[in-house]
Chain A
């Protein structure tokens, strides 16, 4: 069957679910970050396929912006993880319970 919009959207939805599974299930901060990246990529794929099948290039420009924002987010987030590791010697979410009531 020729892959249409629905095929791409199913792939995007499954990839988003995989990223969500990583964010919810893993306890390592870096792996949680990789799950976030997977979810962002799933959104990008959905935008590009909508752009292709609607005949409108604005979606691709939006993906360009998303990639840039994701790069900025990764830079700041990894710097935060490094700073956290310096203070606590851990990158494991279950050890970071200072705010827990």
Chain B
């Protein structure tokens, strides 16, 4: 690997093996925790799935850091592992779904689902392995807050404001939907 901008401040002899190892560790952790979240073999309680989803998201934030997307890694931890997962856990505990999870998997459903997923995964892996390998990162891309904020508020100002409107609509909708007496 050529010494590019990412190895400027750290000695070249240490940097590449460490990032390689971290990539494999984080991606293995992401995939393993995602699998455990979906299959949930240890218990029938959805809280376990939610906890494995938290682990998936945090290790994906590690992958974002490896891709030099520092701001997005922080946002991922704050928004997903913080806000979204608290919402999930709150709803799971509010509904008290524990006794409901005793049912069996339907083998037909599971078989067809696994077949579809295997076909799509095989297609993805086949297309990607046939693609031209790109191993050199682009020039000088650092996703820190200052650069992203400049792009966000110069180039994408209108979508940003529309997004704030979307969040307002979602908030009003969530409050209205969870009111006790829906008219």
Q: Please report A residues at the B interface, Cβ cutoff 8 Å.
A: 1-11, 13-22, 24-28, 30-31, 33-35, 37-38, 41, 44-45, 48-49, 51-58, 60-61, 63-65, 67-76, 78-83, 85-86, 90-92
Q: A55-B137, A71-B84 are in contact. Are A17 and B120 (CB under 8 A)?
A: yes
List of A residues within 8 angstroms of B151 by Cβ: 57-58, 61
- Find out whether the CB atom of A60 lies under 8 angstroms from the CB atom of B134: no
- Find out whether the CB atom of B182 lies under 8 angstroms from the CB atom of A83: yes
Q: Identify 9 new A-B residue pairs, CB closer than 8 A, beyond the known A18-B34, A76-B170.
A: A8-B27, A11-B31, A17-B118, A20-B117, A25-B109, A33-B88, A38-B37, A63-B72, A69-B166
**B1 shortest CB reach to chain A, Å:** 5
**B111 shortest CB reach to chain A, Å:** 9
**B159 shortest CB reach to chain A, Å:** 6
List of A residues within 8 angstroms of B95 by Cβ: 30, 81-82, 85, 91
Partner of B53, one of A37, A49, A67, A83: A37
- Find out whether the CB atom of B91 lies under 8 angstroms from the CB atom of A30: yes
Partner of B37, one of A1, A7, A22, A27: A22
Q: A37-B84, A76-B177 are in contact. Are A18 and B135 (CB under 8 A)?
A: no
Interface size on B, residues (CB 8 A): 91
Q: Complex Cα distance A49/B1, Å? A: 18
What are 25 contact pairs spanning A and B, CB under 8 A?
A5-B133, A6-B129, A13-B124, A14-B121, A17-B117, A18-B37, A18-B117, A20-B116, A22-B37, A27-B109, A31-B38, A38-B37, A41-B56, A41-B80, A45-B64, A52-B68, A52-B137, A53-B138, A55-B139, A57-B148, A61-B152, A68-B167, A75-B173, A78-B174, A82-B178
Residues of chain B in range 16-46 having any CB-CB distance to chain A below 8 Å = 16, 19-20, 23-24, 27, 30-31, 34-35, 37-38, 40, 46
Q: Complex Cα distance A54/B121, Å? A: 24
- Find out whether the CB atom of A75 lies under 8 angstroms from the CB atom of B134: no
List of B residues within 8 angstroms of A74 by Cβ: 84, 87-88
- Find out whether the CB atom of A57 lies under 8 angstroms from the CB atom of B166: no
Q: Complex Cα distance A48/B71, Å? A: 11
Q: A27-B103, A30-B97, A81-B91 are in contact. Are A38 and B128 (CB under 8 A)?
A: no
